[in-house]
Amino acid sequence: MYMLRNEALAQEVTQEIFLNIWLKSASFNADRGRPRSWIMSVAHHKMVDLIRSRYRSTVMTSPADYETLDLLPSGQISSEEEVSRNLERERIMKAMEALPTAQKEVIMMAYFEGYS
């Protein structure tokens, strides 16, 4: 949700990620890491691919098509959800402060800015 900023799209891509994990579960290799790390890697790569493809399609979309985008439901979240996300964000940022600067920078670029 943080990277896409659109709840409906985030739900759709989450479903695609779980389907991808299910279909490619045989490719998991326990010698290379924990299941959680593998799942997060699959999810991260899917998100980066989606962001890149959306960027390409946005660049190629004509301005006349933009009014159709206005018909999509807004990605507004409830106040409770926003508070919960803010608390979670604070917890994550506090944990990030304990990391060395180089590791923190790599994580920020990879997971919050969409870099591979």
List the Cα angle 31/45/59 in 5-degree steps: 165
Going along the chain from its start, the domains and CATH numbers come out as 1-60 (1.10.1740.10), 81-116 (no CATH)
Dihedral Cα 47, 82, 107, 43, nearest 10 deg: -30
The confidence score (pLDDT) of residue 72 equals 56
> What is the per-residue pLDDT across 62-78, written as a single tens digit (0 to 9) for each?
555 555 555 555 566 66
The confidence score (pLDDT) of residue 32 equals 85
The confidence score (pLDDT) of residue 69 equals 55
Which stretches in the chain have pLDDT values below 70? 55-78
Q: What is the pTM of this model?
A: 0.46
CA-CA distance, 14 to 42, in Å (whole number)?
A: 11
| Cα-only R_g, the chain | 17
What letter would DSSP give residue 99?
A: S
CA-CA distance, 95 to 87, in Å (whole number)?
A: 13
The confidence score (pLDDT) of residue 40 equals 86
Backbone φ and ψ of 7, nearest 5° = -60, -45
